Amino acid sequence: MQRLKLAVVSAGLSRPSSTRLLADRLTEATGERLAQAGRPVDVHAIELRDLATDIANHMVTGFPSAPLREALDAVAGADGVIAVTPVFTASYSGLFKSFFDVLDNTALTGTPVLIAATGGTARHSLALEHALRPLFAYLRAVVVPTAVFAASEDWGAGDAQTEGLPVRVARAGEELAGLMAGRPAAAAAPEEEGVVPFEEQLAALRPR
């Protein structure tokens, strides 16, 4: 059976970064579920920190550098995406948003996406729902129901009111894996520029 492709976008800035740590946990959980379903997966991890200058240059020039092109193509060609950002000033980080700003706005249409975020306090957790989910809804991605937020304390015990981080990670991974496994085999990317024959373009303009 064809191997699935999973792109993991992490916008963490420090090294090591808890954002990357969360992305890795989610990747593992998704991979395990897919393995159980007999669907091997290739993971393409994208650290936006390494592409920060390329992303800014793309904004200025209108074209991506080769490394950024490769990252954008990996996301566009993936069967599923895990997107993880730190919460900055009540929302996704500017770098995270900028990456999806330079991504073609049809690249994620119909693609299952798992959203996750990290922050210093659980008070930021709804940023996932009021910022990330609408962003991917605009891109017409299929966002899995469980969005995973990891506050600093979650890396320890968490709080008594919430299931622990491992439970949420496992549930989100299961949801993403389920959507990815259920996808039809990805069609090969079209080689030719799609062009509408000129007669059709002209005919569409004739007065009716």
> Which of 185/193 has CB closer to another protein?
193
> Which of 53/121 has CB closer to another protein?
53
CB burial of residue 91 (10 Å; 0-12, 13-18, 19+): middle
Q: How far is the CB of 179 from another protein (least distance, A)?
A: 32
Q: How far is the CB of 195 from another protein (least distance, A)?
A: 5
> What CA–CA distance (Å, rounded) separates 175 from 101?
26
> Which of 101/163 has CB closer to another protein?
101
Q: How far is the CB of 16 from another protein (least distance, A)?
A: 29
| Bridge partners of residue 180, in order along the sequence | none
Q: Let me know: does 165 contact 150? Beta carbons within 8 Å.
A: yes
> Which of 38/200 has CB closer to another protein?
200
Question: Where along the sequence are the contacts to another protein (CB under 8 A)?
Answer: 56-57, 59-63, 65, 192-198, 201-202, 204-205, 207
Q: Which residues contact 14 (CB under 8 A, 6 or more apart)?
A: none
Element (H, E) at 171: helix 165-181
Query: Measured at the alpha carbon of residue 52, what is the angle toward residues 165 and 66, in degrees to the nearest 5?
Result: 115
> Which of 64/80 has CB closer to another protein?
64
Q: How far is the CB of 8 from another protein (least distance, A)?
A: 26
Q: How far is the CB of 99 from another protein (least distance, A)?
A: 16
> What CA–CA distance (Å, rounded) separates 13 from 84?
12
Which pair of structure tokens corresponds to residue 41? 């997966």
- Count of CB atoms within 10 A of residue 29's CB? 24
Query: What's the length of the chain?
Result: 208
Query: What 3-state DSSP class applies to 126?
Result: coil
Q: How far is the CB of 73 from another protein (least distance, A)?
A: 12
> Which of 187/205 has CB closer to another protein?
205
